Structure 1
Amino acid sequence: MKSEQRSEEIFKGKTIYLGVDVHRKSYQVSSLHEGQVLGKSVRIDGHAGALLKWARNRYKGAELIFGYEAGFSGLSLSRHLREAGYECHVLNPADIPSTNKDRVYKTDKRDSKKIAYALMNPYSNYNYQIAPWAEQLRQNVRGALRLNSDISRLQHRIKQNLYYLGLNMPRTARGWESWSQASREQIRQQAQTGGHLAIHLWLDQLEQLLGCKQKMWQDIDQMLLESPLQCPYELLQTLKGVGKILSATLVTEIIDMRRFSSINKLRSYIGLTPGETSSGEQVRVGSMTKRGNRILRWALIQVARRVMDSDAEIAMRYAQWRKQCSHDHKAIVKVANLLLGRIRSMWLKQEAYRSPYSDLSAGRLPSEASSETR
């Protein structure tokens, strides 16, 4: 009893930073106060209840700030700690400072201490923590996108086996490969005639995945229409060529456009900003970095390609930039950056998409025409 009172007197009113290295079965926890490590790093059972019990008993009366790396555990641990009344941050592993020694001698103790030191640093940036309903929508959309990848992988497997066996791949009148219902039945008949059981089995799997895909996207569409993201979800579909899949991907990855105070911060989050290695008077701007949300970047590039095919103004801008850029993908990125600014404006103003240049009868942008007349 006396030791508990003494512990409460020692830590009362003090701020303790607890770095947690999260694993499936256990947590490694290191504690810091004013830059000093408090005792040894400890390993406890891998659930929020055990972590709370240990921290409350160890540091009674103290203000506890928890932190851990973003990873497989998601935001579940943070939500448990926040519901218990404690501050908890989720950090990007790439943003946690580390030395060469930390990389050579990598242990759970070192990792938990690095997290604790990052928590104590006032300049550290933390991951944005979304609400449970938003996380559910995001995970559903990501799962549906993975389903699309599984379907493509299965189609490639079937096609490769057809070529290997010398069988014909069904094609459209224009000569494109076809995966319509009639084409799948044609492949099935070829497989049955030749006794190719593997192709027959893969076709059964493909039919099942296609049915799951259709049902899943229908359910996601209904969930989004009943969620707080209904307005941006419908607004993004006013972009020509943007359907429900791309719109759902964009809104569930961004969630809240107001958390980006400027367009540059949004571009940085997506990963559309170039790297830079400048020193002194020399300025070196490189290619796009790998930092960013790769799903959101993929979706925005797809939006750029689709809008470019249906919007005359965007198509003309792409043609201009294509002449200036050494590679096609650089011009596509410029189009994506242009559309990103318009998407942000649509979202914040809650207005449908409207091209600023509706009259392109002269075959050139109004800005070019006005500059020539001047």
Structure 2
Amino acid sequence: MSWIVSRWSAGMPTRDGATGRREPAVMASLPSGPEVVHVGMDTSMREIVCGVLRPGMDVPAVERIPNDEESVRRLIGKLGSRHLLAVCYEAGPSGYELHRLIMSMGVACQVIAPSLVPKGGSERVKTGRRDAVRLTLGLRAGILTPVRVPAPAEEAVRDLVRARGDLLDDRKRMQQRLNAFLLRHGRIWSGGRKWTIAHRLWVDRQQFAEDALQEALDAYRAGLEAREAELRAAEARLSAWAGREPLAPAVARLSGYRGIAELTALTLASEVVDWHRFPAARAFMGFTGLIPSEYSSGSRTRRGSITKAGPEGVRTALTESAWAYQHRPAIGAGLRRRQAGLSPETLARSWKAQQRLHATYKKMTARGKPHGVVITAVARELAGFVWAEMTS
């Protein structure tokens, strides 16, 4: 399988997302020819169901093996010449260690996007055997869509970024529990947004006459403080990685855009890594899950809420960054510091993004669109700008 990556030298992509020059991307390396043995693996925690399709066969033979290194090596060893093997399995919670093991043995292996595996509309039975057969036949037919497997160093930083995301979720849960506790006992905040400095001071002043209630409040406060301390420590560790290889160059360029500070840039860089795998800005927007869902038939077109496909961290980072574009274009002290040393082309694209995205915000709010809808639209356009930046 091969694909073409569209690069764009500067500016925002047109509506078809295909402006600018085109250069070929890296080719996938699965063997081809009538002698190839195709293997599809349905993986689980304890076993792997393997479909093996040898030359001349129409129906794969199915074999079950334990999910351990010795069993995988034994299976590969009895399938013949390794340079004539093509193996695949679906991406899942088991990660990429199986892929790295198979590749280390000199066998071509792909990790397949599960949501893009063709399935019959009337199928109501799902078993490991059926999945293995479907993967094997799809691999030979060339109709499966592989995902990019990150290098171990890239995956390590990404997992650290996701650990911070989990800590953010934990802090939010503790805040919700503390809010619910105070609400149950008639302590209602009416001073505007919650968890501002003023709200936090108000929470700290709350006291109860009943000893048990006071102890419960103290427990909630201590839990929140613990989550905040853990989050600060995680962010300090992440800041150190923002300036290290392999993601430091990407973080520096992304940080040159308004609203994308260091940790946000590191989130985007670690989750995406290879920006050239997206042939156009529209494809990257689809990856972020910021495009509207659609159900159209004949002359009728129906669009709904955004798809929310792809990594949640990327979508959240772009949406939070999009709020910065509600303000008029300007180069503040923080942005000026982050832009120091960047190329003139990056600075020009960053400024163009400010102008265009602020104009989008003003136009949509003037038409009475809800703020959530407006920010989602701005985040979608921002995705196009960062894709253009990282592929130029």
TM-score of the two chains, using structure 1 as the length reference: 0.79
Partner Cα distance (1:181, 1:77) in 2 = 51
Counterpart check, 1:286 vs 2:308: no
Query: What secondary structure sits across from 1:36 in the alignment?
Result: coil
Partner Cα distance (2:198, 2:74) in 1 = 58
Partner Cα distance (2:70, 2:209) in 1 = 57
Counterpart check, 1:339 vs 2:339: no
Counterpart check, 1:15 vs 2:36: yes
- Is the Cα–Cα contact under 8 Å of residues 284 and 384 in structure 2 kept in the other structure? no
Counterpart pick for 1:250 among 253, 259, 268: 268
User: Partner of 2:8 in structure 1?
Assistant: none
Counterpart pick for 1:147 among 161, 167, 182: 167
User: Partner of 2:13 in structure 1?
Assistant: none
Measured after TM superposition, the shift of residue 324 of structure 1 is 4.9
Counterpart check, 1:228 vs 2:241: no
Runs of 5+ unmatched residues, structure 1: 1-12, 350-374
Measured after TM superposition, the shift of residue 231 of structure 1 is 2.2
Question: Which deviations, in whole Å up to 9, do the C-alpha atoms of 1:53-103 show, x marking residues without a partner?
Answer: 12312x2236221111111101111011111111111111111122245x4
Residues 264-343 of structure 1: matches in 2 within 5 Å? 264-278=282-296, 282=299, 284=301, 286-287=303-304, 288-309=306-327, 311=329, 313=355, 314-324=357-367, 327-343=370-386
Partner Cα distance (2:121, 2:154) in 1 = 38
Partner Cα distance (2:151, 2:209) in 1 = 50
Task: Supply the AA of the counterpart residue of 1:36.
Answer: D
Partner Cα distance (1:289, 1:186) in 2 = 37
Measured after TM superposition, the shift of residue 139 of structure 1 is 1.1
- Is the Cα–Cα contact under 8 Å of residues 241 and 306 in structure 1 kept in the other structure? yes
Measured after TM superposition, the shift of residue 44 of structure 1 is 1.0
Counterpart check, 1:26 vs 2:47: yes
Counterpart check, 1:93 vs 2:114: yes
Distance 1:165 1:226, change over 3 A: same
User: Partner of 2:333 in structure 1?
Assistant: none
Moved more, 119-128 or 334-343: 334-343
Residues 205-224 of structure 1: matches in 2 within 5 Å? 205-224=223-242
Distance 1:192 1:81, change over 3 A: farther
- Give me the CA root mean square deviation: 2.9
Counterpart check, 1:67 vs 2:85: no
- Is the Cα–Cα contact under 8 Å of residues 268 and 317 in structure 2 kept in the other structure? yes
Q: Which has the higher helix share?
A: 1
Distance 1:48 1:99, change over 3 A: farther
- Is the Cα–Cα contact under 8 Å of residues 85 and 108 in structure 2 kept in the other structure? yes
Counterpart pick for 1:157 among 166, 169, 177: 177
Query: What secondary structure sits across from 1:284 in the alignment?
Result: strand
Distance 1:292 1:324, change over 3 A: farther
Moved more, 230-239 or 202-211: 230-239
User: Partner of 1:177 in structure 2?
Assistant: 194
Counterpart pick for 1:190 among 207, 225, 230: 207
- Is the Cα–Cα contact under 8 Å of residues 153 and 246 in structure 2 kept in the other structure? no
Counterpart pick for 2:217 among 199, 219, 230: 199
Task: Supply the AA of the counterpart residue of 2:110.
Answer: H
User: Partner of 1:81 in structure 2?
Assistant: 102
Task: Supply the AA of the counterpart residue of 2:379.
Answer: A
User: Partner of 1:43 in structure 2?
Assistant: 64
- Is the Cα–Cα contact under 8 Å of residues 19 and 30 in structure 1 kept in the other structure? yes
Residue-pair matches, total: 331
Query: What secondary structure sits across from 2:327 in the alignment?
Result: helix
Question: Which deviations, in whole Å up to 9, do the C-alpha atoms of 1:166-203 show, x marking residues without a partner?
Answer: 3465x8xx544346599479648626864323332222
- Is the Cα–Cα contact under 8 Å of residues 165 and 313 in structure 2 kept in the other structure? no
Partner Cα distance (2:380, 2:77) in 1 = 48
Distance 1:61 1:339, change over 3 A: closer
User: Partner of 1:137 in structure 2?
Assistant: 157
Measured after TM superposition, the shift of residue 221 of structure 1 is 1.3
Task: Supply the AA of the counterpart residue of 1:97.
Answer: P
TM-score of the two chains, using structure 2 as the length reference: 0.75
- Is the Cα–Cα contact under 8 Å of residues 19 and 113 in structure 1 kept in the other structure? yes
How much identity, in percent, do the aligned residues show?
A: 23
Partner Cα distance (2:378, 2:124) in 1 = 42
Point out which structure has higher relative CO (alpha carbons under 8 A, 6+ apart): 2
Partner Cα distance (1:248, 1:191) in 2 = 43
Task: Supply the AA of the counterpart residue of 2:69.
Answer: A
Partner Cα distance (1:130, 1:28) in 2 = 24
